Amino acid sequence: MMQSGPLLQATNLTRRFGGVVALDNLDLAVMRNEILGLIGPNGSGKTTFFNVVTGIYTPSAGGIAFDGSDITGLSSREIYHRGISRTFQRSRLSLPLSIFDNIMIGNHKHLNQGLWFNLMQRNALKAEFEANYNAACKLAEIFEPRLATKMFEPVAGLPMIDRRRIEICRALISQPKLLLLDEPSAGMTHEETKALMDDILLVRDRNRDLTIVIVEHEMGVIERITGRCVVLNVGRKIAEGPYRQVAKDREVQEAYLGVA
């Protein structure tokens, strides 16, 4: 039975670090199948929100519901198994490992890691490897077909845009319901950013059940790929709606766009 209502719902979500309030009674809903932009100045709570949702930090107060179930206080592993994956602003790739190995790091919930299976059930292990290899190649081809021909080459030799692509593939390989992208264009040129956004839109077009929340400082990206955005400032939501609407909001302009 298909769930109704938001896919993700944060209610009065608060996170304190000593005397610093990083999230302040935040109410935020992510609707199913949307691409939501999360914007705001540095220190506004965007990455903290991702970290609380994914179990890296526990909330100081408030709650989080995902797909109709309470996930408040669950571990990162449990939340991952529920269907939430993410990328990080700073690259978390293991550079000496191959493209394939880095992608598979994101798929451990689908891998049989039992000793008996890996040592004794060789035919089943071979079939699992082939299925995972084909899935990784299929994902990589969406972003850049030549990556699928280099699956066993180390990611250390890849340019930044391809590293970002591999990070997103790693987040997608587990087939999440919700994908959280934390500044995917960081460290890239304008042309690379445009190409990566083309990739993300293509992924979304091929999987209409995928919901995406993107933190991004490039406002052209937010305007182009999101249907709605939420603006945070000092841990509070100060506006939400289509980008062109919130960009006209005086409080948003003062807090984020540099209008005095």
Whether 57 and 124 map to the same domain: the answer is no
* CA nearest neighbour of 109 among 78, 135, 131: 78
**Domain presence at residue 29:** yes
Using CA atoms, how far residue 47 sits from 23, 181, 196, in Å, is: 10, 10, 20
What is the extent of the structural domain holding 222? Answer: 1-82+209-260
The total number of structural domains in the chain stands at: 2
CA distance linking residue 91 with residue 158, whole number of Å: 13
In the block, tokens 């035919």 appear at 123
**Domain presence at residue 201:** no
Query: What are 126's two structure tokens?
Result: 């071979």
- Provide the whole-model pTM: 0.90
Domain CATH for 138: 3.40.50.300
Whether 113 and 171 map to the same domain: the answer is yes
Give the pLDDT of residue 116. Answer: 45
Whether 151 and 112 map to the same domain: the answer is yes
**Domain presence at residue 218:** yes
**Domain presence at residue 114:** yes
Give the pLDDT of residue 111. Answer: 53
Instruction: Per-residue pLDDT tens, the chain, 260 aa: give them.
Output: 456 689 999 999 999 999 999 999 999 999 999 999 999 998 899 999 999 999 999 999 999 999 999 999 999 999 999 999 999 988 889 999 999 999 988 886 655 555 545 555 556 657 777 888 989 999 999 999 999 999 999 999 999 999 999 999 999 999 999 999 999 988 889 999 999 999 999 999 999 899 999 998 888 889 999 999 999 999 999 999 999 999 888 888 887 655 54
Whether 49 and 90 map to the same domain: the answer is no
Whether 96 and 61 map to the same domain: the answer is no
Give the pLDDT of residue 252. Answer: 87
Whether 71 and 93 map to the same domain: the answer is no
Whether 231 and 169 map to the same domain: the answer is no
